[in-house]
Amino acid sequence: MTAPKRRARREKLGRHVLINGDAMTVLRRMNAASIDVIVTSPPYNIGLPYNSYKDAMADADYLDWMIRICQQLKRVLRPEGSFFLNISGTSRRPWLPFELAMRLQPLFSLQNHIIWVKSLAIGDVTHGHFKPLNSTRFLNHNHEHVFHFTHEGAVVIDRLAIGVPFKDKSNIARRNHARDCRCRGNTWYIPYETVRTKQQKFMHPGTFPVGLPGACLALHGVDENSIVLDPFLGSGSTLVAAEGAGANGIGIELDPTYYRTARARLRALMPARAGENAHS
């Protein structure tokens, strides 16, 4: 991936910093051990039609590029930090996410492997949405991966921050729980909202719902002092979630159109601060 021959644009918007530039170039200039949580969904290398990036490298080149990115993410992540990597393969190319996870073993510990369920059927009732697939070989692809990487695999998380009520209320007292809440587990059903146009998807081919980064931030336990990074900001969902959690965000996005979309989404959340932007 070749970065544009121009200086990255930086903007301060509320508690967040938005950077329109190449992720690798920007990451190399960031301070070491400066980020609490990374939540990102990089290009999957499955041919999605991005504006400023060709999502069709040779797999070996893509893995090498992602390793170089992740080396920088390891450098900027604080010792007690969390790195949530959302990635997926396709029915024809199912191995790529696992190949990347295996290649990351020398850099990180895989503390949790979360399955993001986008659609499921319970009995005869379907919930959520998926891309239609006409095939005599494959099932519809209804989930993606969220790999929760940490430096040593020992980061304390807040499981009950995204917990669910007990179905059998007798378990609360019988198992000495302090409240009606149990761990959600490592399968997260977070559906997309129903959309019918590209505009409703923010004109981006690979958005994720705000609930996904929101759950990651809650699980780690962010507060007003936390700094959240998304090096592939896209339409801005991670920083929208950071704003909702009261955390500080840094978002890096190569494409000017997606960058403007992310900026507009954030600005809509903070109308009183719209005049406080600083450009550099």
With respect to residue 4, please indicate whether it lies within any of the assigned structural domains: no
State residue 21's pLDDT score: 96
State residue 1's pLDDT score: 43
Measured from the Cβ of residue 11, the count of other Cβ atoms closer than 10 Å reads 17
pLDDT higher than 80, residue 92: yes
> Which whole number is the average pLDDT over 90-111?
94
State residue 132's pLDDT score: 77
> Which whole number is the average pLDDT over 163-187?
94
Euclidean distance between CA atoms 276 and 280, whole angstroms:
13
Measured from the Cβ of residue 193, the count of other Cβ atoms closer than 10 Å reads 10
pLDDT higher than 80, residue 18: yes
DSSP string, 141-188: --EEEEEEEESSS-----GGGG-B--SSTHHHHHTT-SSS-B---SEE
State residue 68's pLDDT score: 98
State residue 250's pLDDT score: 98
With respect to residue 175, please indicate whether it lies within any of the assigned structural domains: yes
With respect to residue 1, please indicate whether it lies within any of the assigned structural domains: no
Task: Give which of 66, 26, 59, 18 is closest to 42, Cα–Cα.
Answer: 66
Q: What whole-number percentage of the chain has pLDDT above 90? A: 74
Model pLDDT for residues 257-269, shown as the tens digit of each residue: 999 999 999 999 9
Q: Which residues of 72-82 are buried (b: 16+ CB within 10 A; e: fewer)?
A: bbbbbbbeebb
Measured from the Cβ of residue 28, the count of other Cβ atoms closer than 10 Å reads 12
Token pair for residue 122? 């319970």
State residue 45's pLDDT score: 81
> Which whole number is the average pLDDT over 206-229?
94
Q: Please tell me which residue, 69 or 279, carries the higher pLDDT value.
A: 69
What torsion, rounded to 10 degrees, do the Cα atoms 55, 56, 60, 66 define?
Answer: -10
State residue 80's pLDDT score: 98
> Which whole number is the average pLDDT over 248-264?
95
State residue 48's pLDDT score: 62
Task: Give which of 212, 191, 215 is closest to 119, Cα–Cα.
Answer: 191
State residue 197's pLDDT score: 53
Token pair for residue 44? 């999957």
Euclidean distance between CA atoms 254 and 162, whole angstroms:
32
State residue 200's pLDDT score: 46
Model pLDDT for residues 220-245, shown as the tens digit of each residue: 999 999 999 999 999 999 999 999 99
Alpha-carbon separation of residue 82 from 87, 227, 255 (angstroms):
16, 11, 26
Domain residues for the domain of 13 are: 9-275
Euclidean distance between CA atoms 247 and 226, whole angstroms:
5
Model pLDDT for residues 38-87, shown as the tens digit of each residue: 999 998 887 566 666 666 788 899 999 999 999 999 999 999 999 999 99
Q: If pLDDT is split at 50, 70 and 90, which confidence band does 253 have? A: very high
Q: What whole-number percentage of the chain has pLDDT above 70? A: 86
Residue 173 has phi, psi (to 5 degrees) of -80, -40
Q: If pLDDT is split at 50, 70 and 90, which confidence band does 279 have? A: very low
Count of structural domains, the chain: 1
pLDDT higher than 60, residue 274: no
With respect to residue 28, please indicate whether it lies within any of the assigned structural domains: yes
Q: What is the CATH number of the domain that holds 129?
A: 3.40.50.150
What region does 236 belong to: left with phi over 0, alpha with psi -120 to 50, or beta?
left
Of 123-127, 209-213, 244-248, 269-273, the poorest mean pLDDT is in: 269-273
With respect to residue 86, please indicate whether it lies within any of the assigned structural domains: yes
> Which whole number is the average pLDDT over 102-117?
98
**Residues making up the chain, counted from first to last:** 280
State residue 275's pLDDT score: 46
State residue 270's pLDDT score: 81
Euclidean distance between CA atoms 273 and 204, whole angstroms:
26
Three-state DSSP at 116 gives strand
Euclidean distance between CA atoms 237 and 251, whole angstroms:
10
